[in-house]
Structure 1
Amino acid sequence: MSVLGEVLVGVAVLVGLIGIVVQVLPGAVLVLGGILVWAIMTGGVEAWVVFSIAAVAIVIAEVAQWVIAGKHMRKAKVPWLTLAVGGIAGIIGFFVVPVIGLFLFFVGAIFLLEWARHKDVPAAWKSTKTAVQATLITIGVQLVGALLASGAWVIGLLIT
């Protein structure tokens, strides 16, 4: 693969990592897609081993995020519907108030739903904090998986 091609793959990986943190882009998909393009263009056993390692890291992270965050939500008795509606509100908020609207609408929707469910502001705020923590857990787990995949790619660059 040419140096320009490797730089473009690096940009895709970097954009994917940023997408995981910002939660606007499908970050893990971009990271894995970039590494897949590199493996196809580079060819050889080493490139495909690197891609396989990256794919396993991302798949494990994707599964782990749901298991860990789900356990956190179940422990606090926050329904998944609340988180789903909060996520949809966050997406809408991103377009209504660029960038910060994502966070504001996400937290606001969760708080309002939990307030309606509990009829108690302190209980609603506790549920809201739990939902935000679960979201941060998913971001962290996804980021670890994507960083491991990115590290495998960097090692692949060095050995090919």
Structure 2
Amino acid sequence: MNDFALVLVGIAIFVGIVGIVIPILPGAILSWAAIGVWAFEEQSATGWTVLAIATAFIGASQVVKYIVPERKLRDAGVPRRSTLIGVLLGIVGFFVIPVVGMFIGFPLGVYLSERHRLGNHDTAWESTKHALRVTGLSILIEFTGTALAAATWLIAVLFL
């Protein structure tokens, strides 16, 4: 693979990682696909090994990012319904107010659902803050798996 193509793969991996933190792009999938393109271009044992390791890191993070937060929300007493309403309002917000609407819609949806369910501001706000922390944890889990995959690729490119 020539240097220009290698730089493009690196940029795609980086954009994917940014897409995890600022969820506009399918971050982990973009990073994994870039590593896959590199591996297919390399056609070597190193390339296939890196792709397998990246798949394991990203795949594990995709599973864990749903299991751990779901359990934490359940333990805190925040029902799935509130999270679902938050996600739906986040999606609507994304289209109504491009880019930042999701960050407004999700907490607003969770808050409104919890306010309706619980009947007062203080407990609804506590549930909303808990849902936001858990969402941050989910992002951190996906970020970590993708960053480990990217680091594996970078080590292979630089040293192998």
Give the distance between the partners of 2:151 and 2:7, measured in 1 at CA: 15
4+ runs deviating over 4 angstroms: none
Give the distance between the partners of 1:82 and 1:25, measured in 2 at CA: 24
Contact kept, 8 Å, 2:88 with 2:109, in 1: the verdict is: no
Give the distance between the partners of 2:118 and 2:29, measured in 1 at CA: 37
Give the distance between the partners of 1:29 and 1:84, measured in 2 at CA: 23
Give the distance between the partners of 2:118 and 2:81, measured in 1 at CA: 15
1:149 corresponds to which residue?
149
Q: What's the RMSD between the two structures over aligned residues?
A: 1.1
Q: How does 1:92-107 map to 2 (within 5 A)?
A: 92-107=92-107
Give ranges in structure 1 of 5+ residues lacking alignment: none
Q: TM-score, normalised to structure 1's length?
A: 0.95
1:129 corresponds to which residue?
129
1:65 corresponds to which residue?
65
Q: How does 1:99-118 map to 2 (within 5 A)?
A: 99-118=99-118
Q: TM-score, normalised to structure 2's length?
A: 0.95
Give the distance between the partners of 1:34 and 1:8, measured in 2 at CA: 9
Give ranges in structure 2 of 5+ residues lacking alignment: none
Contact kept, 8 Å, 2:24 with 2:99, in 1: the verdict is: no
Equivalent AA in structure 2 for residue 105 of structure 1: G
3-state SS in 1 of match to 2:25: coil
Q: How many residues align?
A: 160
2:76 corresponds to which residue?
76
Once structures 1 and 2 are overlaid, which stretch shifts more, 18-27 or 90-99? 90-99
Give the distance between the partners of 2:16 and 2:120, measured in 1 at CA: 39
Give the distance between the partners of 1:4 and 1:94, measured in 2 at CA: 34
